[in-house]
């Protein structure tokens, strides 16, 4: 089972620019969390400070009893073996081919024989759909493949905590959906704590158990997914709807006059949010997500402290029959792509079905919005 | 775990108290970082696991890019010193000391500097460019996150290779430089071979060779550490790497001549001249 990551009062500034201040949250053990935020709000800095690549000015990051933010270099290197980090561009070693890249942590940290290393690496490569690409060099492959290779490399040491920096950036929506499914399957399989840093609302709506949002150097909110997805906080409704009018401006901040002008022009925009879509389930054949059960118990104990819409959403999701059945996808031809593994060809997530429903729901994701189906 | 709603997004942000920007503080910080890197390279050199393969590869690389140029530089350098010293000694009527003077100048001063300049210029710039481009591609951070110290894995073998190549190359350059000087003295200035060799053995002593090798070792180390330091701290972007390479060469040259001055002064103070 994954381990809990507790962040307390974290503050970081570069020179006079405060990136974020006083962030306190806790990533529950074994659950999937997403940190949202507009570009340039320090999401990546936050992720890097969780693994001690950036030392914060104040506050602490507790992982397995070790304060990552202040411990000695030696303890830090030991603690990092608990983490698997998927960097934005994969951060593969350009001088090594994919196989050697993915084998690198094993060769550095374990005494496995070459045959065992080969077995583990090939298994992870198949898991991310890169079977047969081991001889290629990072410079020769597409951005999506680099990301997947970076993920495979993050997985070889069986990490307790997996951090993903923008798994969606530079990927098409379909590949993003596959990657989302892969992360959920991964969570079901190894029960690791996962944090995804992203600004992709589609991932935020379907993947995580918990969502947080960073804006203007503050943590706007962190909690169960239903809380943020049903919130009427202006920043969150603007972000989730991908609208121009709201507190988020082009250059991060918007002053009060512009805001007032916008309000006068657009009138009172409906604060309605897109309807809550059910969370992704692991692909058939995967074990049940143990985190789902733990989370249910945890959320129920704190139910009375949550806002009413979130309470309703949670109760609905637990309603008779629990999660809605993932319907079979329509007869959709699979491209015969030999290089893709089975995991990547599973069309069993329920998104395509969801998108094709008739326009009968108030907050359905309209096709002309960013991140929409087509 | 708690659900929290922090203050309105428009809340005031107070910048954190920070030390005021004192001019020159940045340079001082960089110097401190450079020394810290040198110390950790020294410390991690004795820690296992040692990267033998990386060391051999880097050693071969640095040697292959420096051997030929340093020999080609050392022949004319030895000749120039001999010619200059020879014409001076002729005016003074002390021709018989030309050999000693030029050999000592080549072995003690010219050879370690030639070696260091070539290691910094040819090897160091390549090291800096390699490390720098890896840094901007986040490879260093990725390595750190995987629990592998980039300093131990990449920097230590490179600095060590630079130091070792410098020591060995110094021997080669000394020999080639002295031979070049001898050739020009005997064939162009019509000096007597016997006088060249006799004065050499009467004035030169073994510590001259030692200091030459010590200098080469230290210069190689400095060139390696400076290249690594600039490579690990480039400004972001490809342009930053180019600037870092440029800086690494300039900084190591400056440091080399300065350290050479200090080492020479110390040597002349503690080792009594022969004869």
Per-residue pLDDT reduced to its tens digit, A314-333: 887 775 544 444 444 445 45
Task: Say if residue B99 is exposed, middle or buried (CB neighbours under 10 Å; 0-12, 13-18, 19+).
Answer: buried
In terms of Cα–Cα distance, which of A44, A37, A40 is closest to A238? A37
Burial A245-273 (b: 16+ CB within 10 A, else e): bbbbeeeeebeeeebeebeeeeeeeeeeb
Backbone angles phi, psi at A222, to 5 degrees: -145, 130
Q: Are B63 and B166 in contact (CB under 8 A)?
A: no
Residue B223 confidence (pLDDT): 94
pLDDT band at A251 (very low <50, low <70, confident <90, very high): low
In terms of Cα–Cα distance, which of A86, A313, A280 is closest to A181? A280
The single residue listed with the structure tokens 């070693």 is A93
Decide: pTM greater than 0.90: no
Question: How far does the CA of residue A285 sit from the closest CA of chain B (Å)?
Answer: 31
Inside any domain, residue B46: no
CA–CA separation, A27 and B28 (whole Å): 40
- Nearest chain A alpha carbon to B49: A108
Burial A115-129 (b: 16+ CB within 10 A, else e): eebeebbbebbbbbb
Start-to-end CA distance of chain B, whole Å, equals 82
CA–CA separation, B159 and B219 (whole Å): 11
Residue A271 confidence (pLDDT): 55
Range among A65-74, A152-161, A264-273, B198-207 with highest mean pLDDT value: A152-161
CA–CA separation, A262 and A267 (whole Å): 8
CA–CA separation, A49 and A23 (whole Å): 12
Q: Are A147 and A171 in contact (CB under 8 A)?
A: yes
Inside any domain, residue B231: yes
**Residue B147: both structure tokens together:** 């629990």
DSSP assigned state of B225 = H
Q: For residues A87 and A352, which has the higher predicted lDDT (pLDDT)?
A: A87
Inside any domain, residue B126: yes
In terms of Cα–Cα distance, which of A232, A184, A180, A196 is closest to A84? A196
Inside any domain, residue B145: yes
Inside any domain, residue B183: yes
Q: Is B2 on the interface with A (CB under 8 A)?
A: yes
Q: A7, A54, A77, A246: which to substitute to probe chain B, counting the most B Cβ within 10 Å?
A: A77
Which residue among B9, B134, B143 sits closest to A215, beta carbon to beta carbon? Answer: B9
DSSP assigned state of A249 = B
Residue ranges making up the domain that contains B152 = 67-270
Q: Where are the alpha helices (DSSP H) in chain A?
A: 43-50, 73-80, 98-109, 114-127, 143-155, 173-190, 201-206, 225-229, 234-241, 256-266, 290-301, 308-317, 342-345, 351-355
Residue A369 confidence (pLDDT): 53
Inside any domain, residue B10: no
Strand-pair category, A58-63 with A66-67 = antiparallel
Residue A266 confidence (pLDDT): 62
Q: Are B260 and B159 in contact (CB under 8 A)?
A: no
Question: How far does the CA of residue A346 sit from the closest CA of chain B (Å)?
Answer: 30
pLDDT in tens, chain B (275 residues): 344 444 334 334 444 444 456 778 888 888 999 999 999 999 988 887 888 899 999 999 999 999 999 989 988 888 888 888 888 888 888 777 788 888 888 888 889 989 989 999 999 999 999 999 999 988 998 898 888 889 999 999 999 999 999 999 999 999 998 888 888 888 887 878 888 888 877 888 888 889 999 999 999 999 999 999 999 999 888 899 999 999 999 999 999 999 999 999 999 898 887 76
In terms of Cα–Cα distance, which of A245, A248, A202, A204 is closest to A223? A204
Q: Is B142 on the interface with A (CB under 8 A)?
A: yes
Which residues fall within 8 angstroms of residue A152, CB to CB, at 6 or more apart? A102, A121, A124, A125, A127, A128, A130
**pLDDT over 80 at A207, yes or no:** yes
DSSP assigned state of B119 = I
CB-facing half-sphere around the CA of A19: CA atoms within 13 A: 22
Task: Provide, as residue numbers in chain A, all residues whose Cβ is less than 8 Å from the Cβ of B139.
Answer: 91-94
Task: Provide, as residue numbers in chain B, all residues whose Cβ is less than 8 Å from the Cβ of A72.
Answer: none
**pLDDT tens-place string over residues A5-46:** 898 888 888 888 888 888 888 888 888 999 988 887 888 888
- ipTM, two decimals, is 0.72
Residue A269 confidence (pLDDT): 55
Residue B42 confidence (pLDDT): 92
Backbone angles phi, psi at A194, to 5 degrees: -125, 130
CA distances from A333 to A252, A346, A350, A354 (A): 42, 12, 16, 18
Task: Say if residue B100 is exposed, middle or buried (CB neighbours under 10 Å; 0-12, 13-18, 19+).
Answer: buried
Question: How far does the CA of residue A139 sit from the closest CA of chain B (Å)?
Answer: 12
**pLDDT over 50 at A356, yes or no:** no
CA–CA separation, B81 and A198 (whole Å): 65
Inside any domain, residue B56: no
Contact A92 B146 (CB under 8 A): no
Range among A311-315, A366-370, B164-168 with highest mean pLDDT value: B164-168
Number of domains in chain B: 1
Handedness of CA A157, A163, A166, A167 (dihedral sign): positive
Inside any domain, residue B4: no
């Amino acid at each position: 089972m994954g381990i809990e990551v507790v962040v307390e009062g974290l503050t970081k500034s570069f020179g006079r620019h405060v990136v974020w201040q006083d962030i306190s949250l806790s990533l529950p053990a074994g659950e999937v969390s997403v940190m949202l935020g507009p570009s340039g709000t320090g999401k990546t800095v936050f992720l890097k400070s969780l693994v001690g690549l950036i030392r914060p000015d104040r506050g602490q990051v507790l992982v397995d009893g070790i304060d990552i933010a202040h411990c000695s270099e030696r303890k830090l290197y030991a603690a990092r073996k608990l983490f698997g980090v998927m960097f934005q561009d994969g951060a593969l070693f350009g001088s090594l081919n994919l196989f050697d890249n993915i084998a690198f942590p094993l060769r550095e940290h374990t005494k496995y024989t070459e045959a065992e290393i080969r077995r583990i690496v090939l298994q992870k490569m198949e898991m991310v759909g890169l079977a047969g690409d081991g001889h290629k060099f990072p410079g020769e492959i597409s951005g999506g493949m680099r990301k997947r290779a970076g993920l495979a490399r993050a997985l070889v040491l069986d990490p307790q905590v997996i951090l993903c920096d923008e798994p969606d950036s530079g990927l098409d929506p379909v590949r993003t959906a596959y990657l989302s499914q892969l992360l959920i399957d991964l969570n079901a399989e190894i029960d690791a704590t996962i944090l995804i840093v992203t600004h992709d609302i589609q991932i935020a709506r379907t993947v995580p158990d918990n969502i947080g949002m960073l804006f203007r150097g503050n943590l706007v909110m962190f909690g169960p997914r239903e809380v943020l997805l049903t919130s009427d906080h202006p920043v969150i409704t603007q972000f989730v709807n991908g609208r121009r009018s709201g507190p988020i401006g082009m250059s991060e901040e918007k002053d009060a006059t512009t805001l007032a002008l916008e309000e006068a022009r657009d009138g009172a925009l409906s604060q309605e949010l897109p309807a809550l879509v059910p969370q992704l389930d692991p692909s058939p054949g995967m074990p049940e997500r143990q985190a789902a059960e733990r989370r249910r118990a945890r959320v129920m104990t704190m139910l009375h402290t949550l806002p009413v819409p979130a309470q309703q959403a949670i109760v609905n999701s637990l309603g008779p029959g629990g999660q809605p059945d993932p319907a079979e996808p329509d007869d959709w031809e699979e491209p015969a792509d030999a290089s893709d593994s089975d995991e990547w060809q599973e069309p069993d997530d329920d998104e395509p079905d969801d998108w094709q429903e008739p326009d009968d729901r108030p907050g359905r994701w309209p096709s002309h919005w960013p991140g929409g189906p087509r | 775990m708690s659900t929290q709603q922090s203050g309105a997004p428009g809340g005031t942000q107070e910048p954190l108290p920070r030390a005021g920007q004192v001019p020159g503080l940045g340079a001082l910080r960089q110097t401190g970082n450079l020394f810290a890197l040198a110390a950790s390279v020294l410390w991690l050199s004795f820690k296992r696991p040692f990267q033998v393969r990386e060391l051999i590869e880097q050693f071969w690389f640095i040697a292959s890019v420096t051997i030929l140029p340093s020999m080609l530089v050392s022949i004319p350098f030895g000749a120039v010193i001999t010619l200059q010293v020879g014409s001076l000694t002729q005016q003074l009527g002390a021709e018989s000391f030309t050999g000693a003077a030029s050999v000592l100048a080549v072995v003690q001063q010219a050879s370690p500097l030639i070696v260091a300049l070539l290691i910094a210029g040819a090897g160091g710039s390549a090291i800096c460019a390699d490390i720098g481009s890896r840094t901007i591609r986040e490879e260093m951070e990725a390595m750190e996150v995987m629990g592998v110290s980039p300093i131990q894995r990449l920097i230590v073998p490179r600095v060590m290779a630079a130091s070792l190549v410098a020591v060995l190359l110094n021997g080669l350059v000394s020999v080639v430089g002295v031979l070049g000087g001898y050739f020009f003295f005997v064939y162009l200035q019509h000096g007597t071979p016997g006088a060249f060799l006799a004065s050499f053995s009467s004035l030169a002593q073994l510590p001259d060779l030692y200091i030459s090798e010590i200098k080469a070792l230290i210069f190689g180390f400095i060139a390696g550490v400076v290249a690594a330091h600039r490579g690990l701290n480039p400004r972001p972007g490809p342009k930053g790497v180019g600037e870092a390479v440029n800086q690494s060469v300039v900084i190591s040259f400056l440091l080399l001549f300065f350290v050479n001055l200090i080492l020479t002064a110390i040597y002349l103070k503690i080792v009594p001249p022969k004869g």
